[in-house]
Amino acid sequence: MRRILVLVYSAFLLIMLANYIYYKSLYEKQIKYITELLDRQVQIIGISVDNTNNSFVSDLNQVTFSINPSGFFSNAQIKNRLTENMKLFFSKYQNFVTGIKYYDDNRNEYSLKKDTEPPGEWLENTYTLHSQSEIYPTERLVHENNIYYYYLPVLNKDTHEIAGNLVATIDYRKYFADIFSEFNLKDYQWQWVVGDSGNIIYDNTERKIKYLNLDRITSRLGSESTGDTPLGAEIDGKKTDLISAYYSAPLLARDFVLVFSAKTDLFQKYIIRNSLLIVICTLLLIQVIIFIFWQYFRVQKKEMDRLRSSESMLFKLIEEMPVGIIIHNKAREILKANKVAATQYSYDDESAMQGKLFPESSAPEESDYFSKNLGATFSRDQFVIIKKEIGEIVLFRNSIPVMFLGEDATMEILIDVTMLESARQQEAKANVAKTEFLARMSYEIRTPLNGIIGMTDVLYKFNLSPEIMEIVNLLRRSTEVLLNIINDILDFSKIESGKMILDEIPFNLREEITYCYDLARTNMLQTRTELHISVDEDVPESIIGDPFRLRQVISNLLNNSVKNTEKGEIRLRCMLKSNKNGIIILGFELLDTGNSYDQASLKKIFGEFVNMESQPVRSGEEINFSTVLARQLVELMGGEFHAESPSGLAGNDGIRIEFTIETFSNDKQIKDLSLETVRRFAEIHTLVITGSQI
């Protein structure tokens, strides 16, 4: 973790150094850009000042160039022309000139101004002076009462002598304010002018500024040069550095230095603010990353501890499990084994098995009992037979793919089933013995019973006394009961062994149900019970199925209800559950008013045995194979069987039985065959199925 922290903070220092280099370069580029921008701007203004200086005097001379001003005060036409020229000049230099006047050597004077208030009308005055104003023979800029006047001598065209002066009132501050107005950005950039006296005559910043190192600017007066220089300044009492670009230019006999300045601390503050923001955000991000990694490592450490604990527990489970455990890789090299597996494979201990090859599963032919008897349930690979000095052991094998010590592996779970196999073989022998016993019973017992029944039929032909006839009848009934019991046992055994085969033949359902009804009526002669049987109209007349087994089911269940009901009512109903695609599901409902049973007793009666002692609500019932056989036959015919008590016919008495069977439709399919196109016997295609008729 300490190494990670060193790496993280080293990365942080590198980020800080990169930020410092980047923002220093950005600051230098920004200073260079602002300096170049100020240079371009001051040159634009300087050129404009030079143009004004060069054209001002020339344009002022053009006012009187083509007109003889000597007739200005006596000739209205000359006055109008000269006045229009003055107005044109005034309009051109209205940002520099505040007024124009003309006076001659006869104490006459004319002045022209423009009203500063809208709509800006012209103000003209003509008057006679009390004393003659001084007439200057040359161009001259005169400073009087903080106002600058530019005097231009005017010649008399006739005498070629100086007849007066044309005077323009100059306002330098107004001029500089006008030309600097488009470039003034207040806090970011401002302009100022140094006059020929070395003083600042104009400054458009709104702050109180004291410029330091002003000699760097005043030394440029009269040099007609341009460039840039760093300056210091105190702005509102705070020292700061300035970027300044200057342009030295004359204007109407005066020398000026035009200066554009901008503060460097604005860029410094901007860059410092952004860099600090990035540094803080970077620091916070690094702290968050450190925290996340710290939490992650804590979770990972807990997970590693848990995995170590799980690994140790797994090894302990492998060692302590009562079955053989072998873990091998893809090359079948054993990576881990426990003591049970070592004992199974006759090794001294489990460490001796590591590195050995796990043998392929094989079963010799003489012991290949599983492939013959369990092939439908288990695969041959699921069993391992290991020969021992005395006998053999049988292992049930289950393979599970696992990840062990970082590589794909397989865990073999080996369960010793030798005792179970022995028990299974004993059971198989018992089944064979049972089969032989049933076959012998079928031959040895049923044959004498059939002989006894035959003999009773012979005795009926003799004229026997009533006492003897009653004995013969009792003998025949007892023999038939015993034969039915033997038949039920044989059928029950066939079902258990899976050898019961159902017929699929057409039969009349209602005839079979009627036969069962008549058979049950013979057993109800000495009871006070009514039997009602009904078949729904939508039940088909003829179906395909096993009529004998259906008759056996209905008869067994009816006989059970007759025995269970001393008096009352028995109802049997047959209904159609479904008829889809030729498959018919028939439903039967049998209700009686006899004895009632709890659910455990019903399961016992119908063959669903439970591990508890079931007590009937009423005594006297007889439990036999017929009901169990009926339920098994229903399930064999693809149906469902359900019994509950009471039946619902009479209070809490009786049993309600519901079951279904699956049969097939015997309706003939109507075939719509068109024979119109048949012209030859070869065009007739038929399928004929035949067989021996017995």
SS3 string of 328-345? EECCCEEEEECHHHHHHC
Instruction: Scan for tokens 């161009």, then name that residue.
Output: 139
The overall longest dimension of the chain from CA atoms, in Å, is 198
Q: Report whether pLDDT(23) > 80.
A: no
Residue range 595-611, pLDDT digits in tens = 888 888 888 888 764 33
Max avg pLDDT among 12-16, 91-95, 525-529, 673-677: 91-95
CA 129 to chain centroid, in Å, comes to 100
- Measure the CA–CA gap between 135 and 165, rounded to whole angstroms: 6
What pLDDT does 270 receive? 67
Q: Which of 635, 587, 582 is nearest to 608 (CA)?
A: 635
- Measure the CA–CA gap between 100 and 123, rounded to whole angstroms: 11
Residue 617 binned pLDDT confidence (cut-offs 50, 70, 90) = very low
Pairing of strands 528-535, 567-580: parallel
Max avg pLDDT among 2-16, 35-49, 360-374: 35-49
Query: How is residue 7 written in tokens?
Result: 């790496």
- Measure the CA–CA gap between 487 and 450, rounded to whole angstroms: 12
Q: Dihedrals φ, ψ of 517, to 5°?
A: -65, -45
Residue range 557-588, pLDDT digits in tens = 998 888 888 888 999 999 999 999 889 999 99
| 518-549 burial code (b ≥16 CB/10 A, e <16) | eebeeebeeeebebebebeeebbeebbbbbeb
- Of all helices (H) and strands (E), which one includes residue 113? strand 108-114
481-485 long-range contacts (CB < 8 A, ≥24 apart) are 482/449, 483/446, 483/449, 483/450, 483/453, 484/626, 485/624, 485/625
DSSP 353: G
What pLDDT does 614 receive? 41
- Of all helices (H) and strands (E), which one includes residue 263? strand 255-263
Query: How is residue 160 written in tokens?
Result: 């070629």
Which residues, in sequence order, are CB contacts of 264 under 8 Å at separation 6+? 31, 240, 241, 242, 243
Q: For the ranges 137-146, 205-214, 347-356, 480-489, which has the lowest average pLDDT?
A: 480-489
Query: How is residue 564 written in tokens?
Result: 């269970």
Q: How many residues does the chain have?
A: 694
Residue range 191-214, pLDDT digits in tens = 899 988 888 888 888 778 888 888
Residue 622 binned pLDDT confidence (cut-offs 50, 70, 90) = very low
**Helix (H) and strand (E) counts for the chain?**
14, 24
Residue range 396-415, pLDDT digits in tens = 888 888 888 778 888 888 88
- Average model confidence (pLDDT) across the chain: 81
- Of all helices (H) and strands (E), which one includes residue 49? helix 2-62
Max avg pLDDT among 322-326, 352-356, 442-446, 635-639: 635-639
Higher pLDDT, 4 or 373: 4
- Measure the CA–CA gap between 208 and 598, rounded to whole angstroms: 111
Which residues, in sequence order, are CB contacts of 5 under 8 Å at separation 6+? 290
**β-pair partners for 104:** 164
What pLDDT does 615 receive? 44
Q: Which of 529, 548, 546, 508 is nearest to 662 (CA)?
A: 546
Q: Which of 550, 690, 530, 559 is nearest to 623 (CA)?
A: 559
> In the predicted model, what is the mean pLDDT of residues 643-651?
86
In the chain, the amino acid numbered 481 is V
SS3 591: strand
Residue range 467-496, pLDDT digits in tens = 888 888 778 767 766 776 677 677 666 666
Q: Report whether pLDDT(264) > 50.
A: yes
Name the CA radius of gyration of the chain, rounded: 65
pTM over 0.85: no
- Measure the CA–CA gap between 483 and 454, rounded to whole angstroms: 13
**β-pair partners for 166:** 102, 152
DSSP 188: S
Residue 168 binned pLDDT confidence (cut-offs 50, 70, 90) = very high
